[in-house]
Amino acid sequence: MYLNPTFKKSQSKFLLFLALFCFSSLYGQEAGNFKAGFGRSNITPLTPQNLLGYAPRQSNGVRDSLYHKVVVLDDGKKQFYLVATDLGTIAPNTYDKAAARLKKMFNIDRADFWWTNTHTHSAPETGPPGVIPLFLGDRYEVKHNEAYAQYVEDQLVEAVRLARKNLSAARLGVGWGFSRANINRRARGVDNKTFLGENPDAPVDNRIGLLRIDHANGKPMAIVANYAIHGTVLASTDVRISGDVPGEVAQYVEEQAGAPLLFVNGALGNIAPRFSISVNNTGNKDGQLRQFRKLLGEPILEASRKITATTGQVRLNTTGINIETPRRADIKTWPDDLKAYARTSSTGQNLIRMPVQFLRINDDIMFWSAPCELFCEVSNEIRNNSPFAYTFYSGITNGTFGYLCTEDEIKLGGYEPMVSPFSPAAAVDLAEGVSRHLEEISRQKK
Residue 297 belongs to some domain of the structure: no
Residue type, 235: A
Report the domain count for the chain.
1
User: Beta-carbon neighbour count of residue 76 at 10 Å?
Assistant: 12
**Of 83 and 25, which is predicted with more confidence?**
83
Whether 365 is in a domain gets the answer: yes
Would you say residue 49 has pLDDT above 70?
yes
pLDDT at residue number 233: 96
Query: 53 pLDDT band (50/70/90 cuts)?
Result: confident
Per-residue pLDDT at 339 exceeds 50? yes
- 357 close to 349: Cβ distance less than 8 angstroms: no
Cβ partners under 8 Å of residue 2, min gap 6: none
Share of the chain above pLDDT 90, in %: 81
- Average pLDDT in the chain: 91
pLDDT number for residue 331: 92
Poorest-pLDDT segment among 98-107, 142-151, 161-170: 142-151
pLDDT band at 133 (very low <50, low <70, confident <90, very high): confident
Q: Which domain holds residue 410?
A: 316-442
Whether 406 is in a domain gets the answer: yes
pLDDT beyond 90 at 137 = no
**Residue 50 pLDDT exceeds 80:** yes
Residue 77: inside a domain: no
285 part of a folded domain? no
Q: Which of 135-139, 202-206, 213-217, 361-365 has the lowest mean pLDDT?
A: 135-139
When computed from its CA atoms, the radius of gyration of the chain, rounded to whole angstroms, is: 23
Per-residue pLDDT, 135: 84
| CA 25 to chain centroid | 33
| Residue 16 confidence (pLDDT) | 45
Q: Which residue has the higher pLDDT, 283 or 154?
A: 154
CA distance 296 to 265: 13
State pLDDT tens for residues 174-210.
999 999 999 999 999 998 899 999 999 999 999 999 9
369 confidence band (pLDDT: 50, 70, 90): very high
Helix, strand or coil for residue 337? helix
**pLDDT confidence of residue 446:** 52
Query: Would the pLDDT of 24 be above 60?
Result: no
Contact by Cβ (8 Å): 125, 87: yes
Q: How far apart are the first and last CA of the chain?
A: 56
In a domain, 126, yes or no: no
Higher pLDDT, 8 or 397: 397
What is the model's pLDDT at position 21? 42
Give the residue-averaged pLDDT of 70-78.
Answer: 97
Is residue 308 over pLDDT 70?
A: yes
The pLDDT-based confidence of 36 (bands split at 50, 70, 90) is very high
Has residue 437 been placed in a domain? yes
Q: What is the mean pLDDT of residues 89-103?
A: 96
How does residue 445 score in pLDDT terms, banded at 50, 70 and 90?
Answer: low
Burial status of residue 379 (CB atoms within 10 A of its CB: 0-12, 13-18, 19 or more): buried
371: in domain: yes
Residue 437 CA from chain centroid, whole number: 20
| Sequence-separated (6 or more) residues with CB below 8 Å from residue 28 | 171, 309, 310, 311, 312
